[in-house]
């Protein structure tokens, strides 16, 4: 079906899901750790494998918009509009849940998050399986998401028997989440589909999140975090601080958008793509590589304050919040 995933692999993986086992699979955003969304015991295994608190709900992936009514009890007009424009694709919609959706999936909330992914392996798996696949990003709780099958192995080792290898994911960061369960659609998590694109399709502005929005673990301040302390700053300051830390005998890792690296020992320099799509595509692999470089700090050149960089800035802010800042170097 693709170079590395055969039809037989898909058939086997679908059978494993039916048997209540976990299957890691690629989506166009990041890899997911999937379980049969209608099987509470299977869904519980996802939480155990990730080390994720049980009240953090999962996204249900479906093959086709027509299956929405199996999972949601009310489908507002905005959902049809957004689904038609952006599905299959990197958009998750939160809806009022159907009574049959297990509490394990929704964390006991009255809503459910749903997405139709576009990755050919995800689509083939969903078609072969037939039902909904509950899948969070395939990483241990609070850690950087996986964008390759090797990352999934690094996170879970043998704890996940089946990992479908569809190569590096295309988008590279998690889907945009829009809550359509309330009076007005609300952005819960930015992604590469921007608020402006969504508003253009809806023909009205998205509402600002209320204090009491549904719980989103990606909304925790500390998330997507490498273990090495990570700090963001302007490009000039990156070079300045790198010099000063190296002078103090530290090893420094840098993620910058320029290839003009200073000639210093003990400096690991990763030149990220200058465009937002390319930067997002490489972001988690870059953070992993920098985290593994055995450095005392990761310095990140702050991306531009522009709409297409919103989701990238969000992930970097959380990675920085999770890693303690300068005082931990």
Among ligand TXA, Mg ion, none, the one that 148 touches (CB under a kind-dependent 5 to 8 A) is none
Among ligand TXA, Mg ion, none, the one that 175 touches (CB under a kind-dependent 5 to 8 A) is ligand TXA
Could you tell me which of 215, 164, 170, 165 has the C-alpha nearest to residue 191?
170
CB of 199: closest distance to Mg ion in angstroms? 25
Nearer to ligand TXA, 108 or 130 (CB): 108
The span from the CA of 92 to the CA of 282, in Å, is 22
72: number of CA atoms within 13 Å, CB side? 25
Among ligand TXA, Mg ion, none, the one that 59 touches (CB under a kind-dependent 5 to 8 A) is ligand TXA
Nearer to ligand TXA, 35 or 135 (CB): 135
Whether the CB-CB separation of 46 and 141 falls below 8 Å is answered with: no
The span from the CA of 281 to the CA of 311, in Å, is 12
CB of 113: closest distance to Mg ion in angstroms? 12
CB of 237: closest distance to ligand TXA in angstroms? 31
Among Mg ion, ligand TXA, none, the one that 32 touches (CB under a kind-dependent 5 to 8 A) is ligand TXA
Among Mg ion, ligand TXA, none, the one that 292 touches (CB under a kind-dependent 5 to 8 A) is none
Contacts of 274 (CB under 8 A, 6+ apart): 257
Conformation bin of residue 126: beta by default, left when phi > 0, alpha when psi is -120 to 50: alpha
Q: Which residues bind ligand TXA (CB under 6 A)?
A: 27, 29-30, 32, 56-59, 92, 94, 106, 109, 111-113, 115, 135-137, 174-175, 177, 188, 214-218
CB of 125: closest distance to ligand TXA in angstroms? 12
Q: Which residues bind Mg ion (CB under 5 A)?
A: 137
Among Mg ion, ligand TXA, none, the one that 287 touches (CB under a kind-dependent 5 to 8 A) is none
Nearer to ligand TXA, 29 or 286 (CB): 29
CB of 152: closest distance to Mg ion in angstroms? 13
CB of 266: closest distance to ligand TXA in angstroms? 34
Nearer to ligand TXA, 27 or 286 (CB): 27
Nearer to Mg ion, 172 or 254 (CB): 172
Nearer to ligand TXA, 37 or 320 (CB): 37
């Amino acid at each position: 079906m693709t170079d590395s995933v055969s039809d037989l692999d898909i058939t086997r993986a679908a059978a494993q899901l039916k048997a209540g086992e976990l299957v890691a699979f690629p989506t166009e955003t990041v890899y997911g750790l999937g379980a049969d969304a209608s099987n509470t015991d299977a869904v519980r295994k996802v939480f155990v494998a990730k080390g994720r608190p049980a009240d953090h709900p999962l996204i249900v992936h479906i093959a086709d918009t027509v299956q929405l009514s199996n999972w949601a009890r009310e489908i507002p007009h905005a959902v049809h509009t957004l689904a038609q424009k952006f599905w299959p694709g990197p958009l998750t919609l939160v809806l009022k849940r159907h009574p049959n959706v297990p509490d394990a999936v929704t964390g006991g909330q009255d809503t459910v998050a749903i997405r139709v992914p576009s990755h050919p392996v995800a689509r083939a798996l969903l078609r072969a399986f037939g039902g909904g696949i509950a899948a969070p990003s395939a990483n241990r709780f609070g850690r950087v998401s996986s964008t390759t099958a090797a990352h999934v192995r690094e996170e879970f080792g043998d704890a996940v028997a089946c990992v479908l290898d569809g190569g590096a994911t295309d988008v590279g960061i998690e889907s945009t989440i829009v809550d359509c369960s309330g009076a007005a659609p609300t952005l819960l998590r930015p992604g590469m589909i921007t608020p402006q694109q969504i508003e253009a399709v809806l023909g009205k502005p998205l509402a600002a999140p209320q204090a009491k929005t549904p719980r989103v673990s990606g909304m925790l301040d500390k998330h997507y975090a490498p273990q090495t302390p990570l700090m963001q700053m302007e490009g000039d300051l990156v070079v300045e601080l790198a010099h000063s830390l190296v002078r103090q005998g530290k090893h420094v890792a840098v993620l910058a958008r320029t290839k003009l690296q200073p000639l210093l020992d003990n400096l690991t320099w990763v030149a990220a793509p200058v465009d937002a799509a390319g930067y997002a595509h490489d972001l988690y692999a870059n953070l992993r590589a920098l985290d593994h470089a055995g450095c005392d700090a990761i310095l990140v050149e702050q991306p531009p304050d522009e709409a297409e960089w919103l989701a990238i800035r969000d992930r970097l802010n959380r990675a920085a919040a999770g890693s303690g800042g300068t005082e931990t170097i």
